[in-house]
């Protein structure tokens, strides 16, 4: 399969579409990004990767980092992780408070804001230096020490994150946060403010395509069984209330973020990351979704 040729062809097709999305202006620092940026990088498990466009430019991975957060907690707590957060799709927007009230402060899954906020609380109890330890973990997955938090984005989100502040307070009122709301949100805003390029992001997700092992270092991060479970959560919950649409049109487990990034994996084959800042109404990259739909359609290859 000549992936470089395929990516070049489908990028051309996607670039001719009029981009109907808008960037995530509710985080002021993200609003200033050039919305015409477009990058894609595909990394096969055992071959050199290839990219098109702005694939080596760093962007804010936002909610994509919730997958790293989940596996960090899952590695330490195992199945006990599921007592404070569920694994069912929410069918609601990423920042919804609605179910928290009817479900006693137990978020539906770890890939919506409420769920990731609870996982941050779990990690605050488990890690001696939570922000530094988490960043080191992400650097290990990416096999790259040049991964960092963008402090400007942290500050921007902390100043305007009223919905997340409300979510954390509601969860706390149900007794499902052990730590102070401010400390939990400080970790949460940092996690969302990790920056990576498409090239770095695809590499850091390769373990999910490779049965839980980082191909470059041969280090096992998750068992086969846990890898299956995390991939299932990405498939059913990775795109908020558009998870069904993504499964229907793309057919790969993945995760999106409001920075305009989407990462997806094809088990035993590759990880792919795409970045285009304009988002559709559900908060997923408009062109990124289109590109992945074209990829699996034109290569006749998805998990289904």
Residues that bind ligand GLU (CB under 6 A): 62-63, 94-95, 113, 157, 164, 192, 257-258, 283
CB closer to ligand GLU out of 28 and 215: 28
**Separation between Cα atoms, residue 60 and residue 30, nearest integer Å:** 8
CA 280 to chain centre: 16
CB closer to ligand GLU out of 50 and 258: 258
Closest by CA position to 188, among listed 164, 204, 171: 164
Helix axes 130-142, 65-77, angle to 10 degrees: 110
CA 263 to chain centre: 7
CB closer to ligand GLU out of 65 and 147: 65
Nearest distance in Å: CB 236, ligand GLU: 16
Nearest distance in Å: CB 298, ligand GLU: 28
- Residues 6+ positions from 35 with CB-CB distance below 8 Å: 19, 23, 277, 278
Nearest distance in Å: CB 225, ligand GLU: 27
Nearest distance in Å: CB 239, ligand GLU: 9
- Residues 6+ positions from 234 with CB-CB distance below 8 Å: 67, 111, 208, 253, 254, 255, 265
CB contact at 8 A, 254 and 234? yes
Nearest distance in Å: CB 125, ligand GLU: 21
CB closer to ligand GLU out of 59 and 94: 94
CB closer to ligand GLU out of 44 and 200: 200
Say how many Å lie between the first and final Cα of the chain, rounded.
19
Q: In the complex, which residue's CB is closest to ligand GLU?
A: 63
Q: Which helix (H) or strand (E) holds 236?
A: helix 224-237
CB closer to ligand GLU out of 153 and 294: 153
Nearest distance in Å: CB 218, ligand GLU: 31
Q: Which residue has the tokens 């996607």?
A: 14
């Amino acid at each position: 399969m000549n992936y470089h040729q395929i990516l070049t062809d489908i990028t051309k097709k996607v670039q001719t579409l009029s981009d109907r999305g808008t960037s995530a202006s509710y985080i002021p620092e993200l609003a200033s990004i050039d919305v015409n940026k477009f990058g894609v990088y595909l990394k096969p498990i055992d071959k050199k990767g290839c990219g098109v466009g702005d694939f080596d430019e760093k962007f804010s991975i936002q909610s994509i980092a919730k997958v790293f957060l989940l596996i960090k907690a899952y590695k330490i707590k195992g199945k006990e992780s599921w007592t404070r957060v569920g694994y069912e799709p929410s069918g609601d927007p990423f920042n919804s408070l609605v179910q928290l009230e009817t479900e006693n402060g137990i978020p539906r899954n770890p890939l919506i804001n409420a769920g990731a906020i609870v996982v941050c609380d779990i990690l605050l109890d488990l890690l001696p230096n939570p922000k530094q330890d988490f960043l080191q973990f992400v650097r290990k997955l990416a096999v790259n020490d040049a991964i960092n938090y963008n402090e400007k984005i942290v500050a921007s989100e902390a100043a305007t994150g009223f919905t997340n502040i409300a979510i954390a307070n509601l969860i706390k009122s149900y007794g499902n946060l052990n730590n102070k709301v401010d400390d939990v949100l400080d970790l949460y805003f940092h996690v969302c403010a990790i920056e990576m390029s498409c090239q770095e992001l695809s590499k850091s997700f390769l373990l999910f395509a490779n049965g839980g092992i980082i191909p470059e270092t041969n280090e096992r991060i998750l068992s086969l069984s846990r890898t299956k479970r995390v991939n299932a959560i990405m498939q059913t919950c990775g795109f908020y209330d558009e998870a069904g649409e993504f499964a229907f049109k793309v057919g790969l487990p993945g995760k999106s973020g409001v920075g305009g990034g989407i990462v997806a994996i094809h088990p035993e084959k590759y990880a792919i990351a795409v970045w285009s800042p304009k988002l559709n109404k559900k908060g997923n990259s408009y062109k990124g979704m289109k590109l992945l739909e074209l990829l699996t359609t034109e290569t006749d290859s998805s998990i289904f």
